[in-house]
Protein backbone atom coordinates (compact mmCIF):
# COMPACT_ATOMS: atom_id res chain seq x y z
CA UNK A 1 0.00 0.00 0.00
CA UNK A 2 2.84 2.38 0.89
CA UNK A 3 4.56 1.60 -2.44
CA UNK A 4 1.33 2.38 -4.30
CA UNK A 5 1.07 5.81 -2.63
CA UNK A 6 4.72 6.58 -3.42
CA UNK A 7 4.25 5.45 -7.01
CA UNK A 8 1.17 7.64 -7.46
CA UNK A 9 2.91 10.65 -5.89
CA UNK A 10 5.98 10.04 -8.04
CA UNK A 11 3.84 10.12 -11.16
CA UNK A 12 2.02 13.30 -10.09
CA UNK A 13 5.10 15.34 -9.17
CA UNK A 14 5.81 16.43 -12.78
CA UNK A 15 2.19 17.63 -13.08
CA UNK A 16 2.51 19.57 -9.82
CA UNK A 17 5.81 21.08 -10.96
CA UNK A 18 4.11 22.37 -14.11
CA UNK A 19 1.17 23.64 -12.06
CA UNK A 20 3.55 25.49 -9.71
CA UNK A 21 5.32 27.03 -12.71
CA UNK A 22 1.95 28.09 -14.16
CA UNK A 23 0.96 29.70 -10.84
CA UNK A 24 4.28 31.57 -10.67
CA UNK A 25 3.85 32.86 -14.22
CA UNK A 26 0.23 33.80 -13.50
CA UNK A 27 1.28 35.78 -10.42
CA UNK A 28 3.76 37.72 -12.56
CA UNK A 29 1.04 38.40 -15.16
CA UNK A 30 -1.32 39.66 -12.42
CA UNK A 31 1.41 41.95 -11.07
CA UNK A 32 2.30 43.34 -14.49
CA UNK A 33 -1.39 43.86 -15.31
CA UNK A 34 -1.87 45.79 -12.06
CA UNK A 35 1.16 47.98 -12.79
CA UNK A 36 -0.12 48.71 -16.31
CA UNK A 37 -3.64 49.55 -15.08
CA UNK A 38 -2.30 51.76 -12.27
CA UNK A 39 0.07 53.46 -14.73
CA UNK A 40 -2.79 54.20 -17.12
CA UNK A 41 -4.91 55.59 -14.28
CA UNK A 42 -1.97 57.71 -13.11
CA UNK A 43 -1.37 59.14 -16.57
CA UNK A 44 -5.08 59.96 -16.96
CA UNK A 45 -5.05 61.61 -13.55
CA UNK A 46 -2.00 63.72 -14.37
CA UNK A 47 -3.53 65.00 -17.61
CA UNK A 48 -6.48 66.63 -15.85
CA UNK A 49 -6.41 70.19 -14.55
CA UNK A 50 -7.33 69.71 -10.92
CA UNK A 51 -5.88 71.09 -7.75
CA UNK A 52 -3.07 69.21 -6.07
CA UNK A 53 -5.17 68.02 -3.11
CA UNK A 54 -7.63 66.24 -5.40
CA UNK A 55 -4.75 64.78 -7.40
CA UNK A 56 -3.08 63.54 -4.21
CA UNK A 57 -6.33 61.81 -3.21
CA UNK A 58 -6.58 60.25 -6.66
CA UNK A 59 -2.99 59.03 -6.38
CA UNK A 60 -3.86 57.41 -3.04
CA UNK A 61 -6.68 55.52 -4.76
CA UNK A 62 -4.32 54.45 -7.53
CA UNK A 63 -1.76 53.31 -4.95
CA UNK A 64 -4.42 51.26 -3.15
CA UNK A 65 -5.53 49.79 -6.47
CA UNK A 66 -1.96 48.75 -7.30
CA UNK A 67 -1.52 47.39 -3.79
CA UNK A 68 -4.52 45.11 -4.27
CA UNK A 69 -2.89 43.62 -7.38
CA UNK A 70 0.39 43.16 -5.51
CA UNK A 71 -1.50 41.43 -2.72
CA UNK A 72 -3.31 39.14 -5.17
CA UNK A 73 0.00 38.28 -6.81
CA UNK A 74 1.50 37.39 -3.42
CA UNK A 75 -1.53 35.22 -2.60
CA UNK A 76 -0.99 33.26 -5.82
CA UNK A 77 2.71 32.84 -5.00
CA UNK A 78 1.80 31.59 -1.53
CA UNK A 79 -0.55 29.00 -3.05
CA UNK A 80 2.28 27.83 -5.34
CA UNK A 81 4.69 27.66 -2.40
CA UNK A 82 2.21 25.68 -0.27
CA UNK A 83 1.86 23.11 -3.05
CA UNK A 84 5.63 22.96 -3.47
CA UNK A 85 6.13 22.55 0.28
CA UNK A 86 3.68 19.65 0.31
CA UNK A 87 5.26 17.74 -2.57
CA UNK A 88 8.89 18.57 -1.74
CA UNK A 89 9.12 19.58 1.91
CA UNK A 90 12.51 21.13 2.54
CA UNK A 91 13.47 23.53 5.29
CA UNK A 92 14.24 26.20 2.68
CA UNK A 93 10.74 25.89 1.16
CA UNK A 94 9.06 26.11 4.55
CA UNK A 95 11.20 29.15 5.49
CA UNK A 96 10.38 30.82 2.16
CA UNK A 97 6.69 30.16 2.72
CA UNK A 98 6.82 31.61 6.23
CA UNK A 99 8.56 34.77 4.96
CA UNK A 100 5.98 35.20 2.19
CA UNK A 101 3.11 34.82 4.66
CA UNK A 102 4.64 37.47 6.93
CA UNK A 103 5.17 39.86 3.99
CA UNK A 104 1.63 39.28 2.75
CA UNK A 105 0.19 39.88 6.20
CA UNK A 106 2.09 43.16 6.61
CA UNK A 107 1.12 44.37 3.13
CA UNK A 108 -2.49 43.33 3.70
CA UNK A 109 -2.66 45.22 6.99
CA UNK A 110 -1.27 48.46 5.57
CA UNK A 111 -3.26 48.15 2.34
CA UNK A 112 -6.46 47.71 4.32
CA UNK A 113 -5.59 50.81 6.37
CA UNK A 114 -4.91 52.84 3.23
CA UNK A 115 -8.16 51.73 1.60
CA UNK A 116 -10.11 52.73 4.71
CA UNK A 117 -8.39 56.13 4.74
CA UNK A 118 -9.08 56.59 1.03
CA UNK A 119 -12.75 55.73 1.52
CA UNK A 120 -12.99 58.19 4.41
CA UNK A 121 -11.41 60.88 2.24
CA UNK A 122 -13.88 60.10 -0.53
CA UNK A 123 -16.81 60.29 1.92
CA UNK A 124 -15.54 63.62 3.28
CA UNK A 125 -15.14 64.94 -0.27
CA UNK A 126 -18.70 63.87 -1.11
CA UNK A 127 -20.07 65.53 2.03
CA UNK A 128 -18.17 68.74 1.24
CA UNK A 129 -19.71 68.81 -2.23
CA UNK A 130 -23.20 68.31 -0.75
CA UNK A 131 -22.81 71.19 1.70
CA UNK A 132 -21.50 73.57 -0.98
What confidence category does residue 2 fall into, taking pLDDT thresholds of 50, 70 and 90? low
pLDDT at 1: 61
Identify the domain containing residue 8 by its residue range: 1-129
DSSP string, 72-98: HHHHHHHHHHHHHHHHS--HHHHHHHH
Domain tally for the chain?
1
Q: Which of 108, 111, 117, 132 is nearest to 57 (CA)?
A: 117
Q: What is the dihedral of CA 79, 83, 86, 91, to 10 degrees?
A: -70
pTM of the full predicted structure?
Answer: 0.72
Amino acid sequence: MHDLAQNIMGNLIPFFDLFILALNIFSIVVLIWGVIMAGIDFLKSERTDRNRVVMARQNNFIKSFLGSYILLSLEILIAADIIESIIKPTFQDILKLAILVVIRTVISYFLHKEIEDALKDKENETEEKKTN
